[in-house]
Amino acid sequence: MRRFLVVLIALLGIPLTAAGPLDLKPSVIVYPFTATTSTINREASSQLATIIATQMAATGRVTVIPPPPGTERKDYLAVARAQNAEYYIAGFMSPLGDGVSVVEQVVSTTSGIVVSSNTSQLTTYADAAGQGEQLALIVSRHANRALASIGTPPPAASPTAAPTAEAQANLNRLFSRRKKPAASPTPAPSAKPVAVATAAAAALVNVTSPPVPATPAPGRQSSLAILTLGGSATTVLRDAATERIATRAHADRSTTVTAACAEHPRLAVLSGFLIVKPNAAYGSRASLALFASDCRGRTLWNRSFNSSAGGAQSAQLATQRVVDAAVLAYLSAPSAPRS
């Protein structure tokens, strides 16, 4: 079908531009990276893949398909084809100083061969997010290479804005095995346990402080947008956290950067990933990496946050706290674009 489209365009003499409506939006699966040593946290490969996949989706250049859980490396190609993915990304990671060295391989499911391979050294969450932008560009350019040869070639990659000093969240805790923290009692919340998923979402969105209007004043569109958070947290927690960010930051919810910026110009599009896990010392620990990008996909601001909570609603409370900390930090940052 793609070859037929290219031939038809050539015969008709239709000029193409790099950002034209005929650009293909390829689908891709990002598999967990294979650790080359047991010193790397066993969950780190999945978390790194989540960071990269989230940022790739945020660019709007590609469609990211979640990998089926438990897929073995020998089945990557077959599973990607079964999921109708045109590409998949896999690789290896090794410890290096305070971070990791990562070999990233982009494989075409059509041919089954590696179309791009790159080695990167990652130390901060900003480094990992930058890989997502770069890999999205690589996949998009490869998928559109036939169209680009007819008309105007794709533009050169835009330089990524340098993160601020406060955004240099170190990844050494993510990529190394951690000892269990010493027990520290946390007062249990007085709220009753949430019985169902929908109630959990409602409890997370509701705030104890004075409510903030979810939308700007009538007649005024928000200059911020928020994409649904990615990550290994449950769908209920991720959706409720996204809604909480939208409420407190006065941001419009959207599906992609392209969709958000098509409505009207945005100062920034927020995205991120949320991880919530049980914690031996507390009840639950929530980790949130929040990114702000412009309409061209360049990262303008990013930081990572952690929070813990105990009690029957520990997951909801930990998520609520980490979201509030992230939004407050973003709205308080002098260099962060906001409404």
CATH value at residue 40: 3.40.50.10070
Q: Tell me: do 138 and 244 sit in the same domain.
A: no
Residue 160 belongs to some domain of the structure: no
Residue 322 belongs to some domain of the structure: yes
pLDDT at 338: 64
Dihedral-angle region of residue 70 (phi above 0 means left; psi in -120 to 50 means alpha; beta otherwise): left
pLDDT at 166: 38
pLDDT at 21: 47
pLDDT at 333: 81
Q: Tell me: do 135 and 203 sit in the same domain.
A: no
CATH value at residue 258: 3.30.160
Q: Tell me: do 244 and 319 sit in the same domain.
A: yes
Query: What's the domain range around 240?
Result: 193-332
The single residue listed with the structure tokens 């294979």 is 34
Which residues of the chain are modeled with pLDDT < 50? 1, 3-4, 6-21, 151-168, 176, 178-180, 188-219
- What is the pTM assigned to this prediction? 0.49
Q: How many residues does the chain have?
A: 339
Instruction: Collect all residues with Cβ–Cβ distance below 8 Å to 290 and sequence separation of at least 6.
Output: 245, 270, 271, 272, 302, 303, 304, 305, 326, 327, 330
Q: How far apart are CA 312 and CA 189, in angstroms?
A: 8
Q: Tell me: do 86 and 140 sit in the same domain.
A: yes
Residue 127 belongs to some domain of the structure: yes
Q: Tell me: do 232 and 123 sit in the same domain.
A: no
Alpha-carbon torsion angle 255, 261, 262, 265, nearest 10: 150
Q: Tell me: do 223 and 327 sit in the same domain.
A: yes
| Total tally of structural domains belonging to the chain | 2
Q: Considering 150, 179, 207, which residue would you say is the last residue of a domain? A: 150
Cα distances from 152 to residues 145, 155, 157, in angstroms, run 11, 9, 15
134 three-class SS: helix
Q: Tell me: do 266 and 214 sit in the same domain.
A: yes
Partnered with residue 117 across adjacent β-strands are 105
Residue 144 belongs to some domain of the structure: yes
Q: Tell me: do 32 and 110 sit in the same domain.
A: yes
Q: Over the stretch 98-139, which tens digit does the pLDDT of each residue have? A: 777 888 899 999 999 999 988 887 776 667 777 888 899 899
What token pair was written down for 313? 């609603």
Q: Is the dihedral of CA 25, 26, 31, 34 positive or negative?
A: negative
Q: Tell me: do 131 and 35 sit in the same domain.
A: yes
Q: Tell me: do 19 and 141 sit in the same domain.
A: yes
Q: Tell me: do 138 and 257 sit in the same domain.
A: no
Q: Tell me: do 260 and 323 sit in the same domain.
A: yes
